[in-house]
Structure 1
Amino acid sequence: MARADLLLDIVKAGAEGNQELFRKTLEALIAEERAKQHKVLADQLAAHLRLNESPVRPLRALQEVNSDRSAFAEVRPRRSLASLVLPAVVREVCAELVEEHHRADLLRAHGLEPRHRVLLSGPPGNGKTSLAEALAFELAVPLYVVRYESIIGSYLGETAVRLAKLFAQVRSERCVLFFDEFDVVGKERGDVHETGEIKRVVSSLLLQVDQLPSHVVVVAATNHSELLDRAAWRRFQVRLSLPIPTKEQRVEWLKQFENRTGLSLGHSHANLAKTLGAISFAELELFALDVQRRFVLALPEGNIRTIVARRLKQWTARVKPKTESKRNRNG
């Protein structure tokens, strides 16, 4: 049975002739039915929606539009929040966001909606994509990763049209919509080096984000937060930073790796974290997988302590030229 608040809102919209309320309520109702796997009913309801402010399309035409999902890739989320090593404040805020969505009915009973626009910033390789996946996992919804090669066009107005089509496709589904490298489409409009087309794209994008219903959780990630349009910052209710992991976080990640793989690294976690230095989680994973790979190839005689020592020596030799090059430039 449909949510009582949605039925009441539809009746209210009909009585008042409020087309905007009718559209938003119908989108939420469609999302609810899709989540229940009532696909036929959801498609029938969706046939009454107006897409891109055009007249109501027949069901067959609407299905053709929805079948073209080239603008994003669907990822089946497998990581949980508990599996990630996160700063305490990031973990707390994400847990609160998940709770808001699981208890959305209570919020709506008090005229409130759960937060659903999240901006993640920080250097590459520190968990922004993994966190988006974990949010989708905790919310039990699919993760849709925007594919810029299918969005950005070479003709005037083409990108804005494709963005509008993308948002129209996801409005009636419960999902996490993930924009990686968000600065590609969310650049500062005051940048004198950018064209008028980029500025129109940003304006269209921000308008579309504003109009998304709360059952669509938008997660945007950027390595260059300084490039984002100031209005884009204001659109996001949750703004989180994921910096380079601390030594303690690297130690925690190494412990999780051992528990997950059953492979003891044979060295003190603290010493490993210190020797590896200030590296990202992505680089840490590269190192650990390299160790695991060499250990498997050395079976059955492989000595894990020797393998780790050799990997550390190679790692130090690999990063040393960067340090020396920087020192030579400064000298």
Structure 2
Amino acid sequence: MARSDLLINLVKAGVNGDTGTFRRTVDAIVAEERGKQHNVLADQIERVVKTTNGNALITAPRPASEGSQRAKDFISEIMPRRKLIDLTLPETTQLATRQLIEEQQRASLLRSHSLEPRHRVLLVGPPGNGKTTLAEAIAESLAVPLWVVRYEGMIGSFLGETASRLKRVFEYARTTPCVLFFDEFDAVGKERGDKHETGEIKRVVTSLLMQIDELPSYVVVIAATNHSELLDRAVWRRFQLRLPLPAPTQKQLTQFVQSLAEKAELNLGVSAAQITKSLGRVSYAEAEEFLLNIMRRVILTQGERPSGEIVREQLKLWTARARSAKEGTGEEKSAGTSTS
């Protein structure tokens, strides 16, 4: 049985002719019943609203409909595996994330006091430092699917096409509790005052803001960006939590490498501090990839070579790769010119 507050909201919306509230409440009831595995009841509710005559207040979202099927073309579903406890996060970011999860898990208590849990999060930081991983960890903690929006299928060349597809994605997300993740959010949330942008992107941003406002609180929408300066000012106000994920310090990177090695039961033969010092300023993703390379070599050599030797070999390769990247970007040349 749906919660009493949802039933009361449904009756009030029907009496007052409030179609917006009616729609959101029906969505919430359907999502809650599906979350309890009451799929038959959820299907019945949707069928009743769908088949009601023209005097009905709304047409409820239909997950099995053609529109919802098309919405799936713009979403990739990821099975959450990363756990929050495994992540290395700034203290304030970790605290805010745990509060968000608690609010979502105890949403009924908040609603009994006429409050809703926070559910709109903006992650800001350079690439490779955990934005996608944090979204996955939040989904894992809440035991809900992680839906990643795919821009390559959504952004169209015709007038109004992108905004229409975006609307479909949000309508589909309302059908069940989930984490809806927008990576590279500046692709769709650009500053509308930018004179170089077309009227189409301005319509997309306006539609995006309206859809975010109308999302029920059981849908946690997480947006990530490497370029926060490009976001529309109104976008910032939509997010209740704005969490930084900066590049790691050497101490944080050392802890991260040590933690990964311990979980993999990998004897590095070299201290984690020495490794991170040799790697230089890298992201968590790059450090993880380095450790994975070592694991591959350890497995393939089947214990015939000491792990310390493998680590030193991989560090040599890493240094050569880093030097090649600098030469490719002209960093060394410009550095040399400045000192001559």
Find the counterpart in structure 1 of residue 197 from structure 2: 194
1:108 corresponds, among 111, 118, 122, to 111
Residue 264 of structure 1 deviates from its aligned partner by 1.3
Count of aligned pairs between the two proteins: 328
Structure 1 spans left out of the alignment, 5+ residues: none
Q: Which amino acid aligns with 1:175?
A: C
**For the residues of structure 1 that align with 2:62 and 2:276, how far apart are their CA atoms?**
57
Q: Which amino acid aligns with 2:259?
A: Q
Kept after mapping to 1: 8 A contact 2:63/2:172: no
Q: Secondary structure at the match of 1:233?
A: helix
Residue 59 of structure 1 deviates from its aligned partner by 9.2
Find the counterpart in structure 2 of residue 92 from structure 1: 95
Find the counterpart in structure 2 of residue 234 from structure 1: 237
Kept after mapping to 2: 8 A contact 1:44/1:59: no
Q: Which amino acid aligns with 1:85?
A: T
Find the counterpart in structure 2 of residue 247 from structure 1: 250
2:323 corresponds, among 317, 320, 324, to 320
Q: Secondary structure at the match of 2:65?
A: helix
Farther off after superposition, 60-69 or 272-281: 60-69
**For the residues of structure 1 that align with 2:268 and 2:88, how far apart are their CA atoms?**
19
Q: Which amino acid aligns with 1:106?
A: L
**For the residues of structure 1 that align with 2:60 and 2:3, how far apart are their CA atoms?**
26
Say whether 1:155 aligns with 2:158.
yes
**For the residues of structure 2 that align with 1:91 and 1:60, how far apart are their CA atoms?**
36
**For the residues of structure 1 that align with 2:271 and 2:137, how far apart are their CA atoms?**
29
Superposition CA RMSD, Å: 2.0
Distance 1:214 1:49, change over 3 A: farther
* 1:1-331 alignment runs, 5 A limit: 1-47=1-47, 48=49, 63-68=65-70, 69-323=72-326, 325-330=330-335, 331=337
Distance 1:226 1:61, change over 3 A: closer
Q: Which amino acid aligns with 1:75?
A: I
Residues 59-89 of structure 1, C-alpha deviations (whole Å, 9 max, x = no match): 9896333333111011110111001111111
Farther off after superposition, 187-196 or 257-266: 257-266
Percent identity over the alignment? 54
Residue 44 of structure 1 deviates from its aligned partner by 2.7
Residue 112 of structure 1 deviates from its aligned partner by 0.8
- If the length of structure 1 is used for normalisation, what is the TM-score? 0.94
Residues 151-173 of structure 1, C-alpha deviations (whole Å, 9 max, x = no match): 11111111111111111111121
Q: Which amino acid aligns with 1:149?
A: E
- If the length of structure 2 is used for normalisation, what is the TM-score? 0.91
Distance 1:56 1:2, change over 3 A: closer
Residue 49 of structure 1 deviates from its aligned partner by 6.8
Distance 1:60 1:281, change over 3 A: closer
Q: Which amino acid aligns with 1:208?
A: Q
